[in-house]
């Protein structure tokens, strides 16, 4: 037997290992917190409280999660075709531009229910367009997608500075921002939706985009595993040679997959621009594109896993902010370190604990055999 | 000192829930050639990997020359005097032969000094065993037979007194195999113990002094070669009687379904891979393509099924015409009733990570029977998979298992089932039984002959000469991208084919093909 097939059950791979990774990250974080002279348990309590202890906290957590779901899905989609899309950051940024262009042009003329689909389409089109050039270069010219998508992040950042300073800025203003959209073009917040149902919750940036993110997750799941296009995409991802044999146009699949991936990242712009900021501004993506990579890795490129990982990361962002507020010795930078550790353990070191878990399972299965 | 070079006592090894070796006991006499036979997955390679330190046994003891020895890695094995020639060579392709031999066994920091010492030592080895090879040639420029010699020298240079060879003849022509056997006999005469793993019973009978048969991780019997027969060994391997020879009626040919005309292929570095090929295959016949691997057979298959574009010539296959300017894509060709069982089943034929049912529609994924307007019809695909698994006896009969977790034979049966199910007009088959166990080979051969009898034109590329001779009606021999001869399968033998494959045969008029 030359192949060693997976020896651990699926639930352990999907659930147990990410949890172990999370705990390893928390253990290292606890040590750091202890070293700066704070109580790690207390800090963890504060973080969890901050993320889930109030309706406001939950709102913030889910608002962050919305961004991560979109960018995580983008990374996962590309990954199923074995493409590593590092460009979620730029694609989300340009996606936001797409939303703003539509809303700035039409918010005085159209009702919300027409603006919403237009804004979604704008975000997806712009995001996809930003992925198109790297996709083309990968499919037809063999330039590595990792390199090109990274470069496009920089191009996006600079393009946005140019556009905001020279095109969208209000006459006479010193801040590079567009005008605020008409209120009709704002994505309804969850708070206002609940209010119409007679339930009162406190104010947070959480808006309808979260629901859209869940629906998009479902669509992505169907696309990957229940359509012939998803089948072709996974074929190309697993084995380009077999895909060619099967008559699949691998170049076209690479193009389509990257366009979809870019479109998904672009949707993060809807949450930020239409849902929260209500105007086009600089740096609203704030690293969500990169966090999406860790989210997709932790979520094993499956929409359900991505939703769960997104909520975890959302909680980290929100809880971390609360923590640095309540424990002044733990600075904002310290919170970044904790976030970084979790990304490190669940992303880059995702498979580090796997051999240990495998060993435990082998020993365990032997003992049960002997006992039987 | 003990009489035995190697003694294994109760060796067991499992990978997860799979027991690859179970209480294996084996004794190999010093200075003999010992064969280990068994089907794929019987545990032969695992056992030898344990001996060479790639794996560690879960339990059991190894004695080398009567001394209990712990072998934790290949360094331990080399120290104990064990050398191994792997099925897939472990050579650095852009190093010279000499560099490869001393790699990892350099005697000091300064390379030139170790090269000097090594050269004289290797010359000695060459002389005593007839292991001649050009030390300054780069590995990627010498033929596979020579590469294997390099592997052998490598092992001997490290002082191996026990040499393990894993499927050494898989890539060799019959003549090269004979040369290898001569070398092995010379080694034996000088006291080296040779262990050879193979699934070719003919080689066991020709070469070995004793033989052990493995089945399902256990050694079922150890015999003296002179006191056994091919039939007995085959029966031991599979656990039931095997018909070694297939009966088939003579071909009833119909219209020409493959017509290859002046076909040529020049690769990106300007080398002619195929040159001026002309042949036809008619409905109702099997035409075999023989050749040492790498002489253009694979390229020919890939051009016929549309994966590779040709550079010149013209092909008519069924109703489709392929020319350099009129390139037809694989899906078009497939839908014209041309099925293709690719040579490399794990890289092309199926997707190891896919479930069996997903792999069972590869190439037919756009067929309306598997798709609704947007969604795939998972139930239809599963039941389709179950039905073809039944027809072709694929075990286990479970469409949800990952393709990779089927044995080689069952993977191959699944691919054949998929390709044959639609009764194609033309069947292109590459290496249908490579790495497939004997029981499945019998079944696969029957199916291919049945396709022929139903009126398909079958083009068969295979590295197994006996397979070509058993199945084919005519055999075309390729060498260096050209057709160097065609023979009637009923009137040829492995010897003649082997000579033609290396282009060293004499034509009747005394001229070599060029």
Between strands B67-69 and B426-430, the pairing is unpaired
Q: Would you give the end-to-end CA distance of chain B in angstroms? A: 57
Q: How far apart are the C-alpha atoms of B488 and A298, rounded to whole Å? A: 61
Mean pLDDT by 10 residues, chain A (372 residues): 52 81 90 90 91 93 97 97 96 97 94 95 97 96 94 97 93 90 92 88 92 97 96 96 94 97 97 95 92 89 94 91 87 84 79 82 68 44
Query: Which of A242, A244, A251, A357 is best to mutate for the B interface (most B CBs within 10 A)?
Result: A242
Q: How far apart are the C-alpha atoms of B377 and B366, rounded to whole Å? A: 11
- Give yes or no for B330 touching A (CB within 8 A): yes
pLDDT, tens only, B57-110: 889 999 999 889 999 888 899 899 999 988 778 899 899 999 898 887 777 777
Predicted local distance difference test score (pLDDT) of residue B87: 78
Set out the domains of chain A in order of their start, with CATH numbers. Answer: 10-371 (1.10.3470)
* Positive/negative CA dihedral, B252, B258, B263, B265: negative
Least confident of B168-182, B194-208, B246-260: B168-182
Identity of the residue in A1, A242, A244 whose CB atom sits nearest the CB atom of B46: A1
Residue B464 has pLDDT above 70, yes or no: yes
Percent with pLDDT over 90 in chain B: 45
Average pLDDT over residues B380-394: 93
Percent with pLDDT over 70 in chain B: 96
Average pLDDT over residues B349-368: 93
Supply the ipTM of this predicted assembly. 0.82
Residue B514 has pLDDT above 50, yes or no: no
Average pLDDT over residues B29-53: 87
CB-CB neighbors (< 8 A) of A246 in chain B: 330-331, 362-363, 365
Average pLDDT over residues B165-190: 86
Measured in angstroms, the CA of B365 and the nearest CA of chain A are apart by: 6
- Residues 6 or more apart whose Cβ sits within 8 Å of residue B111: none
Q: How far apart are the C-alpha atoms of B495 and B465, rounded to whole Å? A: 9
- Give yes or no for A247 touching B (CB within 8 A): yes
Structure tokens at B135: 């030390």
Tell me the sheet residues that pair with B260.
Answer: B279, B315
pLDDT band at B494 (very low <50, low <70, confident <90, very high): confident
Higher pLDDT, B338 or A19: B338
Q: How far apart are the C-alpha atoms of B319 and B331, rounded to whole Å? A: 14
Question: Contact at 8 Å (CB) between B44 and B36?
Answer: yes
Predicted local distance difference test score (pLDDT) of residue B389: 94
Identity of the residue in A1, A241, A365 whose CB atom sits nearest the CB atom of B20: A1
Cβ burial of B226 (10 Å; 0-12, 13-18, 19+) is exposed
Residue B163 has pLDDT above 90, yes or no: yes
Using alpha carbons only, what angle is made at residue B278 by residues B275 and B284, rounded to the nearest 5 degrees? 140
Within 10 Å of residue A329's Cβ, how many Cβ atoms? 11
* Positive/negative CA dihedral, B315, B320, B326, B328: negative
Predicted local distance difference test score (pLDDT) of residue B506: 54
Average pLDDT over residues B387-404: 90
Measured in angstroms, the CA of B217 and the nearest CA of chain A are apart by: 10
- Residue whose C-alpha is closest to residue A80's, from A295, A306, A237: A237
Identity of the residue in A6, A231, A238 whose CB atom sits nearest the CB atom of B376: A231
Q: Please name the residue ranges forming H helices in chain A.
A: 10-11, 17-35, 40-52, 55-80, 88-106, 112-136, 145-163, 190-196, 209-226, 228-238, 240-245, 250-266, 268-269, 288-298, 303-326, 332-343, 354-371
Predicted local distance difference test score (pLDDT) of residue B198: 84
pLDDT band at B202 (very low <50, low <70, confident <90, very high): confident
Residue B117 has pLDDT above 60, yes or no: yes
User: Over chain B, what is the mean pLDDT?
Assistant: 87
Least confident of A348-357, B114-123, B155-164, B243-252: B243-252
Predicted local distance difference test score (pLDDT) of residue B45: 82
Question: Contact at 8 Å (CB) between A93 and A103?
Answer: no
Predicted local distance difference test score (pLDDT) of residue B242: 61
pTM assigned to the model: 0.81
Average pLDDT over residues B501-506: 71
């Amino acid at each position: 037997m030359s192949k060693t097939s997976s020896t651990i059950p699926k639930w352990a791979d999907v659930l147990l290992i990410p949890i172990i990774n999370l705990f390893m990250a928390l253990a290292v974080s606890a040590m750091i917190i202890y070293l700066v002279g704070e109580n790690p348990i207390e800090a963890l309590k504060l973080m969890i409280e901050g993320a889930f202890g109030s309706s406001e906290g939950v709102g913030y957590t889910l608002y962050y999660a919305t961004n991560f779901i979109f960018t995580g899905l983008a990374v996962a989609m590309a990954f199923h075709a074995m493409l590593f899309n590092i460009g979620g950051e730029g694609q989300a940024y340009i996606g936001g531009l797409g939303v703003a262009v539509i809303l700035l042009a039409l918010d005085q003329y159209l009702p919300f229910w027409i603006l919403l689909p237009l804004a979604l389409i704008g975000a997806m089109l712009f995001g996809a367009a930003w992925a198109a050039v790297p996709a083309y270069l990968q499919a037809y010219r063999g330039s590595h997608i990792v390199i090109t998508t990274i470069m496009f992040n920089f191009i996006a950042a600079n393009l946005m500075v140019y556009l905001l300073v020279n095109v969208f800025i209000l006459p006479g203003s010193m801040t590079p921002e567009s005008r605020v959209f008409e209120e009709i073009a704002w994505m309804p917040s969850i708070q206002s939706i609940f209010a119409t149902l007679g339930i009162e919750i406190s104010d947070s940036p959480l808006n309808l985009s979260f629901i859209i993110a869940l629906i998009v997750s479902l669509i992505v799941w169907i696309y990957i595993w229940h359509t012939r296009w998803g089948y072709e995409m996974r074929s190309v991802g697993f084995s380009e040679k077999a895909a060619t044999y099967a008559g699949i146009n691998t170049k076209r699949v690479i193009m389509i997959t990257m366009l979809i991936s870019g479109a998904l990242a672009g949707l993060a712009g809807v949450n930020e621009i239409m849902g929260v900021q209500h105007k086009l501004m600089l740096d609203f993506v704030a690293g969500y594109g990169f966090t999406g990579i860790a989210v997709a890795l932790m979520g094993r490129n499956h929409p359900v896993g991505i939703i769960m990982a997104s909520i975890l990361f959302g909680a980290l962002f929100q809880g971390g902010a609360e923590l640095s507020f309540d424990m002044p010795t733990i600075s904002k930078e310290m919170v970044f370190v904790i976030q970084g550790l979790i990304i490190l353990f669940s992303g880059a070191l995702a498979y580090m604990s796997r051999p240990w878990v495998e060993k435990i399972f082998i020993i365990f299965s032997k003992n049960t055999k002997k006992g039987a | 000192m003990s009489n035995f070079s190697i003694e294994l006592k109760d060796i067991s090894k499992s990978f997860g829930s799979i027991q690859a070796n179970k209480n294996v006991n084996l004794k190999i006499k010093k200075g003999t050639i010992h064969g280990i036979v068994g089907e794929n997955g019987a545990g032969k390679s695992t056992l030898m990997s344990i001996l060479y330190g790639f794996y560690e046994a879960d339990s059991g003891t190894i004695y080398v020359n009567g001394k209990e020895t712990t072998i934790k890695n290949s360094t331990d094995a080399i120290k104990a005097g064990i050398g191994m020639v792997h099925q897939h060579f472990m050579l650095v392709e852009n190093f010279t032969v000499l560099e490869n031999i001393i790699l990892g066994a350099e005697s000091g920091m300064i390379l030139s000094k170790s090269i000097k010492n090594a050269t004289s030592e290797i010359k000695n080895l060459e002389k005593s065993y007839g292991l001649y090879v050009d030390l300054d040639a780069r590995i990627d420029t010498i033929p596979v037979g020579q590469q294997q010699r390099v592997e052998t020298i490598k092992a001997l240079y490290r002082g191996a007194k026990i040499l393990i060879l894993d499927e050494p003849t898989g890539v060799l022509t019959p003549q090269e195999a004979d040369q290898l056997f001569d070398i092995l006999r010379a080694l034996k005469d000088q006291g080296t113990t040779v262990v050879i793993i193979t699934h070719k019973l003919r080689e066991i009978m020709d070469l070995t002094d004793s033989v052990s048969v493995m089945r399902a991780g256990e050694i079922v019997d150890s015999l003296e070669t002179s006191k056994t027969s091919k039939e007995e060994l085959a029966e031991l391997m599979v656990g039931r009687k095997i018909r070694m020879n297939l009966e088939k009626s003579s071909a009833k040919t119909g219209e020409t379904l493959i017509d290859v005309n002046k076909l040529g292929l020049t690769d990106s570095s300007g080398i002619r891979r195929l040159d001026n090929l002309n042949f036809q295959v008619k409905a109702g016949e099997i035409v075999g393509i023989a050749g040492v691997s790498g002489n253009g057979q694979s390229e020919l298959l890939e051009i016929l099924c549309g994966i590779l574009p040709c550079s010149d010539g013209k092909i008519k296959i069924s109703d489709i015409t392929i020319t350099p300017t009129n390139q037809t894509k694989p899906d078009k060709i497939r839908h014209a009733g041309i099925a293709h069982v690719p040579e490399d089943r794990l890289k092309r034929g199926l997707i190891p990570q896919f479930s069996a049912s997903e792999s069972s529609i590869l190439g037919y994924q756009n067929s309306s029977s598997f798709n609704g307007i947007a969604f795939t019809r998972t139930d239809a695909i599963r039941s389709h998979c179950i039905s073809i698994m039944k027809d072709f006896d694929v075990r286990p009969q479970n469409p949800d298992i990952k393709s990779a977790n089927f044995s080689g034979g069952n993977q191959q049966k699944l691919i054949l089932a998929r390709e044959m199910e639609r009764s194609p007009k033309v069947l292109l088959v590459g290496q249908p039984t490579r790495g497939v166990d004997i029981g499945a080979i019998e079944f696969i051969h029957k199916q291919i002959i049945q396709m022929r009898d139903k009126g398909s034109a079958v083009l068969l590329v295979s590295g197994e000469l006996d397979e070509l001779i058993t199945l084919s009606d005519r055999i075309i021999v390729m060498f260096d991208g050209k057709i160097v001869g065609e023979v009637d399968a009923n009137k040829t033998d492995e010897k003649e084919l082997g000579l033609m494959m290396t282009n060293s045969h004499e034509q009747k008029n005394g001229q070599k093909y060029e």
